[in-house]
Amino acid sequence: MRALLRLLPTAALVIAACAPQAAPAPSASQVNKVGGSVTFVATTDPDTLDLHQTSNPVSSTIFGWIYEPLVYQDLDNTYKGLLAESWTVSGDSRSITFKLRSGIAFTDGTPFNADAVKFTFERLQRVGAKSPIFETFKNVTAMEAKDATTFVMTLKDPYAPIFHDLQVSYAGILSPTAVKAANDNIGRSAVGTGPYKLKEFQTGQQITLERNAEYKWAPTLFANRGAPYIQQLRYRVIAEPATQLAALDAGEVDYLGLRAQDLAKYSSDTRFKIFDSFTFGLTYLGFDAKRPPFDNAKLRAALAKAVNKDEIVQVVFENKLAKAQCCPIAESIQGYDPRLKDLELKYDPAKAKSELDGLGYKPGADGMRISPDGKAWRPVLYTTTSDTHGKISTLLQAQFKAVGVDVQIKQLESGALLAATPKAEHDLYLNGYSWNEPDMFSLFLSCDRITSSNRVLYCNPQLEDLIKKGRTELDQAKRMQIYFDAQKLTMQEAPWQPLYMPISKTAVNAKIQDLKQGQAGGLYWHDAWVKP
Amino acid sequence: MGRYVLRRLILAVPVVLGVSVAVFLMASAVPGDPATVLAGDTASAEQVERIRHDLGLDQPLPIQYLHFLDRLAHGSLGESTRTHREVLLEIADRFPYTLALTLGAVTLSTLLGLALGILAALNRGRAGDYLTMGFAIVGLSVPTFLIAILGIIVFSLNLHWLPVAGAFSPASYVLPTVTLSLHSAAVKARITRSSLLEVFGQDYLRTARAKGLRERAVILRHALKNALIPISTIIGLQFGALLGGAYIIENIFGWPGIGRLATQAIFNRDFPLVQGTVLVSAITFVLVNLAVDVLYAWLDPRIRYS
């Protein structure tokens, strides 16, 4: 569900991508499509609608409808203008000048301009410690609104992922007037330029968004260039999966991510259409690379060969909701390179056994391996309490047992897990990331993050050097080569054994017409309408 | 009576403060740092430190508790670390839903429990007794979540009479209230039955009948009123249990109550909100039990408080 919710803003951003030309007058058939409502499910309340004060995925999903950022990532992974019309990068790559679109207004009626962009990003620098793009804006040394449609951003160092970070929903532009009117307290009063505006926030129950009838800057990607057809979007807060399914069956919700066990039922139900989506993430098995014995890359590589990814995908996901991955960058994310498949540490239990033997981990009397110093060896696998992670851990335990390694499982609630990993309490770590940028290396495998988001505590100066180069290299071809090298090194060193990319399958009420699916999986709503 | 109530209210202050200390200590002992959880899984150590400082979590525990008391003295329970709204405001949004659910369940379970208990007692050893006690056993032994899911399948999906989730209309209250009340009704039915059977043999009932009172008056005015004392004790205790136990029901029925709010606050390590919800629940529990004690005096004039 988290993965699904993360996808929605991406879709919404693309929907909202604007075009320079004015929208044509709606035809009679278009007018007839206006109306109706679509109800989504949220597992929790969005904690706040202040996009600088949260990293909550439900909030992020809703931001995608209300706010618009300067740029969006197109189907081919390139960045295109949304609120920005165009931009130029200075010769030293330290300054970006954005030419902004004119004629765009916030839903409070005030005009969108360079002052609003400056106001928004300065506020992010001031109060945005909880925002996933806070660190990005630490690298921004100056911002200037040269005129109403020219905004200049100066960086301390060249920073290649800047456009990725500017396209996420957390980088949406706020209405300064609305923020000031709310005395900076915009947790329940979001005002942006997006195709929808906040109508009602019923705590613990429902968030209702109302169509922005003044919206007329939809991108050429859509047949409908004006306001969206669907009158209202609702997010119903339902935590319990069984209740979510019952609500879908009863017609109380129209859109729900499915579990593998529910697919057969809904695939044959004509009341629903099923949409597939890749996700921009990867689940991996990590090794605590800082502490013995897993500071030994050969031991990590030997254990990686005991992992049967295909079995995990088949047993846990019935070959439907996940796809096995070879490499640290999932195939949905820019930077994936199929040539790396040859370097994959493939499932080979015989080789895993012989390599473990060679490293001195010999089987004891009970068939389970003991460490070279003769002591019992029971590596502990840490993971979340999620049902899926529980099943995968059990399967991994059996796969390791087959090569004589007695792995113990410790499932921790996610908050406790986040606190445990920097303390290196674990030997193995099962979790995933969701980040649509090859710079994910800097978040999850860099030395700088060893006390925070680098949960395998892996630090390699060679990789560190590649990470720094990848962040500053703006030439796309050269940058992709850097990430090819970074992946190659990571696959040889094996701090992670990549497992699978989650795939989301969503049941959508068949009354919703003209909902389109992009190549990368996201759903595009701007042409969609509800059949009465 | 007035002085007694006042004394009980004053005595409730240390109880509530004790609860606040216990919750504060338990919250600080929970593994998982609030700043880390708030920052999310991609945050840097510096971001986490900054959030920790902003929340005052880098101060010693006693200082943090004194700040909490200071805020309390000024009528504030602090600000939710997640939503940045006043905790009292968060609770005010959600508590009425839980209170409505709990009051509905207490009322329904009391009426149902009394009716079934009276029926069983009057038909002791006969079919009516076995039927009602059979219901009580089912009510006690079938898990609440199962009743909830069965209720959704039958009344929402098959009959389309009631909504699955939410609290959008009066019909939304039916399934959660009935589900929450069944277990409690079963307990009350059993206690009513045994209390009534105990008083049925008392001399004052024989006297009442000898005076020529109608059987209905004998049962309702004399037998039941005396049997109500243990039942009212149970009502008070169950009110607290229902307040706490509403979480499962709230979760299943997507009910916007305080149980879900508190649980989510625990997962989010939103400690001001955890403290606030527990304090409000504790105060409610204390007040309900005080009301039950006052009720004793009305039910049994021999009971006098001084």
| pLDDT per residue as tens digits for the range A95-109 | 999 999 999 999 999
> How close is the nearest chain B Cα to the Cα of A412, in Å?
10
* Pair A26, A68: CB distance under 8 Å: no
Instruction: List pLDDT tens digits, range A428-462.
Output: 999 999 888 999 999 999 999 998 899 999 999 99
Q: Please work out, in degrees rounded to the nearest 5, the angle formed at the alpha carbon of residue B71 by the alpha carbons of B67 and B76.
A: 150
Pairwise CA distance, residues A2 & B183, whole Å:
35
* Pair B265, B277: CB distance under 8 Å: yes
Pairwise CA distance, residues B199 & B197, whole Å:
6
Judged by a CB distance cut-off of 8 A, whether residue A102 touches chain B is no
Of B37, B44, B160, the CB nearest to A449: B44
Q: What is the pLDDT of residue A14?
A: 32
- Residue A194 contacts by C-beta under 8 Å, 6 or more apart in sequence? A12, A16, A64, A65, A66, A67, A68, A107, A172, A212, A215
Asked if residue B100 has pLDDT above 50, the reply is: yes
8 Å CB contact of A204 and B97: yes
Q: Which of A2, A44, A130 to mutate to test the interface with B (most CBs of B within 10 A)?
A: A130
Pairwise CA distance, residues A51 & A453, whole Å:
21
Strands A408-412 and A380-384, sheet pairing: parallel
Of B152, B156, B261, the CB nearest to A204: B261
Question: How large a percentage of chain A has pLDDT more than 90?
Answer: 79
8 Å CB contact of A48 and B50: no
Judged by a CB distance cut-off of 8 A, whether residue A54 touches chain B is yes
Pairwise CA distance, residues A440 & A434, whole Å:
9
* Pair A16, A176: CB distance under 8 Å: no
DSSP symbols for B81-111: TTT-SBHHHHHHHHHHHHHHHHHHHHHHHHH
8 Å CB contact of A413 and B267: yes
Q: What is the pLDDT of residue A119?
A: 98
Q: What is the pLDDT of residue A6?
A: 33
Asked if residue A28 has pLDDT above 70, the reply is: no
- Nearest CA to A239 out of B268, B172, B261, B82 is that of B261
**Which span out of A6-10, A55-59, B159-163, B248-252 was modeled with the highest average pLDDT?**
B159-163
8 Å CB contact of A453 and B41: yes
Peptide bond into A293 cis (omega under 30): yes
Find the mean pLDDT for residues A511-531. Answer: 84
Q: What is the pLDDT of residue A352?
A: 97
Judged by a CB distance cut-off of 8 A, whether residue B54 touches chain A is yes
8 Å CB contact of B39 and A413: no
Confidence of residue A225 (pLDDT cuts 50, 70, 90): confident
Q: Phi, psi (5° rounding) for residue A499? A: -110, -65
Pairwise CA distance, residues B126 & A55, whole Å:
63
Chain A contacts in chain B segment 257-276 (CB below 8 A): 257, 260-261, 264, 267-269
ipTM for the predicted complex comes to 0.86
In the chain, the amino acid numbered A319 is N
Q: Please work out, in degrees rounded to the nearest 5, the angle formed at the alpha carbon of residue B149 by the alpha carbons of B145 and B153.
A: 170
Asked if residue A360 has pLDDT above 60, the reply is: yes
8 Å CB contact of A250 and B97: no
Pairwise CA distance, residues B232 & A59, whole Å:
45
Judged by a CB distance cut-off of 8 A, whether residue B3 touches chain A is no
> How close is the nearest chain A Cα to the Cα of B33, in Å?
6
* Pair B121, B192: CB distance under 8 Å: yes
Of A205, A240, A452, the CB nearest to B43: A452
Find the mean pLDDT for residues A508-529. Answer: 84
Judged by a CB distance cut-off of 8 A, whether residue B143 touches chain A is no
The encoded tokens of residue B21 equal 């200390």
> How close is the nearest chain A Cα to the Cα of B77, in Å?
18
Find the mean pLDDT for residues A287-303. Answer: 95
> How close is the nearest chain B Cα to the Cα of A207, in Å?
12
Q: Please work out, in degrees rounded to the nearest 5, the angle formed at the alpha carbon of residue B75 by the alpha carbons of B69 and B79.
A: 75
Q: Please work out, in degrees rounded to the nearest 5, the angle formed at the alpha carbon of residue B185 by the alpha carbons of B183 and B187.
A: 75
Asked if residue A16 has pLDDT above 70, the reply is: no
Q: What is the DSSP letter of B268?
A: T
C-alpha dist (Å) from residue A42 to A92, A317, A482: 44, 22, 38
Pairwise CA distance, residues A406 & A426, whole Å:
15
Mean pLDDT of chain A: 90
More confident residue, B292 or A515: A515
Helices (H), A34-104: 57-66
Q: What is the pLDDT of residue B245?
A: 66
Q: What is the sign, positive or negative, of the torsion defined by CA atoms of B196, B200, B205, B209?
A: positive
Of A203, A415, A433, the CB nearest to B93: A203
Instruction: List pLDDT tens digits, range B41-62.
Output: 888 888 899 999 988 889 998 9
8 Å CB contact of A204 and B93: yes
The encoded tokens of residue B125 equal 């050893």
More confident residue, A15 or A172: A172
Cβ-based contacts of B48 with chain A (< 8 Å) = 452
Of A129, A205, A449, the CB nearest to B167: A205
Cβ-based contacts of A236 with chain B (< 8 Å) = 165-166, 254
More confident residue, A262 or B226: A262
Instruction: List pLDDT tens digits, range B183-239.
Output: 999 999 999 999 899 888 888 888 888 888 888 888 888 888 888 888 888 888 888
Judged by a CB distance cut-off of 8 A, whether residue A183 touches chain B is no
Judged by a CB distance cut-off of 8 A, whether residue A25 touches chain B is no
Q: What is the DSSP letter of A198?
A: E
Instruction: List pLDDT tens digits, range B67-95.
Output: 988 998 898 999 999 998 999 999 999 99
Confidence of residue A21 (pLDDT cuts 50, 70, 90): very low
Q: What is the pLDDT of residue A68?
A: 95
> How close is the nearest chain B Cα to the Cα of A210, in Å?
18
Pairwise CA distance, residues B306 & B302, whole Å:
13
Chain B contacts in chain A segment 385-424 (CB below 8 A): 412-420
Residue ranges of E strands in A365-443: 380-384, 408-412, 428-434
Q: Is A505 helix (H, G, I), strand (E, B) or coil?
A: strand
Instruction: List pLDDT tens digits, range A120-163.
Output: 999 999 998 899 999 999 999 999 999 999 999 999 999 999 99
Cβ-based contacts of A179 with chain B (< 8 Å) = none
- Nearest CA to A315 out of A432, A259, A395 is that of A395
Q: What is the pLDDT of residue B239?
A: 81
Helices (H), B162-223: 174-200, 203-210, 215-217
Question: How large a percentage of chain A has pLDDT more than 70?
Answer: 93
Cβ-based contacts of A252 with chain B (< 8 Å) = 163-166
Judged by a CB distance cut-off of 8 A, whether residue A251 touches chain B is no
Q: Is B155 helix (H, G, I), strand (E, B) or coil?
A: helix
Helices (H), A446-518: 461-472, 476-493
* Pair A139, A159: CB distance under 8 Å: yes
